[in-house]
Amino acid sequence: MLYWRLLCMATMIITDSTANLDASVLDRFAIKVVPLNVHLPDVVFKEGELSNTEYYRRLREEKFMPRTSQPSPADFLTLYKSLRPEDNAMVILISSKLSGTVQSAQLACEMFAGHERIKVIDSYSAVMGLGFQVIKAAQMAAAAKTTAEIEKEIFTLRDKMQIFFVVDNLEYLLRGGRISQLSSFIGSILKVKPVLNLADGQIGLYEKVRTHQKAVDGLINRLKQDIQNVHEVAVVHVDAQDEAELLAERVKEIFPHPIISHVNPVIGSHVGPGTLGLIYY
């Protein structure tokens, strides 16, 4: 009986909507997604209910400053309750320094009778930095790896993840509280184009350059420095498809098959349209 139960045991992979994973990937591995919320002046919607194209059109034209919010514990609890008695769950989520989503998942876990079968992991990341971790976890779960084995691999991958990006306008980060007012002021006055990164789960300044082109060159130069140990690369953008494709062509000179990922509204609202970045490990 115990052998049969172990044979039938499965690990559900749960993430949130900021992972930016394609529907084909979600379907292939049966990954469950808990959406974050976007608050507009006239409506509140769950990420995924409005297309990226329509959302960023409104953001550019209407000049509003949206708010975003984490899922409720109840959103996670619903998924936890769908687990079979013999199943486990790995919940891999956006950095706790960018969102309260991890906290919601943990609160739901405390409310669930089978909480010992659920592992909540802070990715220290977002967008494809989170997405790559989720894909790895799903691949390992499909290969019947244990939760301990998956957790160990995700922690290793988390430490290797590199995220660098260039914003078109620092105002979005300022209004969203993601950078100090002084940094935003200097950038707007001196026309500095900072290259930002995500380190230890929070946004920081990697370097300052004077032009957008030099900032993009900086992304490529950093990738070149690290290329010997790179396994996956994603070009990410916020409503900047043409620029992303140009950057992807440059990446292909170094790495053959980069992914292009259009950032969803929650993260896009805080970095702003025109943002361009590289995520790799």
Which helix or strand (DSSP H or E) is residue 67 part of? strand 67-69
48 within domain boundaries: no
What's the CATH code of the domain at 178?
3.30.1180.10
- Give CA torsion, residues 96, 100, 104, 110, to 10 deg: 50
Give every CB contact of residue 140 below 8 A, 6+ residues apart in sequence.
149, 150, 153
> pLDDT tens for residues 158-210?
999 999 999 988 878 877 665 654 465 555 545 678 899 999 999 988 998 98
| Arithmetic mean of pLDDT, 238-253 | 98
127, 159, 191 - which closes a domain:
159
Q: Can you tell me the distance from the alpha carbon of 247 to that of 262, in angstroms, rounded to the nearest whole number?
A: 13
Question: Is the domain of 256 the same as that of 242?
Answer: yes
Alpha helices in the chain (DSSP H): 2-8, 23-29, 52-62, 73-81, 101-111, 127-142, 147-160, 171-175, 181-190, 212-226, 241-251, 265-271
In a domain, 44, yes or no: no
| Residues 179 and 129 placed together within one structural domain of the fold | no
Domain assignment present for 43: no
Residue 75 lies in a domain: yes
Domain end marker among 142, 159, 176: 159
- Res 253 pLDDT > 50: yes
Alpha-carbon separation of residue 153 from 105, 140, 158, 173 (angstroms):
21, 9, 9, 32
pLDDT at 264 over 80: yes
What is the average pLDDT score of the chain?
A: 91
Residue with token string 């779960």 = 141
pLDDT tens column, 61-104: 987 888 999 999 999 999 999 999 999 999 999 999 999 999 99
* pLDDT tens-place string over residues 210-223: 899 999 999 999 99
In a domain, 50, yes or no: no
> Are 139 and 168 part of one and the same domain?
no
Whether residue 59 is contained in a domain is answered as no
* Number of domains present in the structure of the chain: 2
The reported pLDDT for the residue numbered 62 is 87
Residue 2 confidence (pLDDT) = 36
Cβ-based neighbour number of residue 244 at 10 Å: 22
Question: Could you list the residue range(s) of the whole structural domain that residue 168 is in?
Answer: 162-280
Same domain, residue pair 107 and 180: no
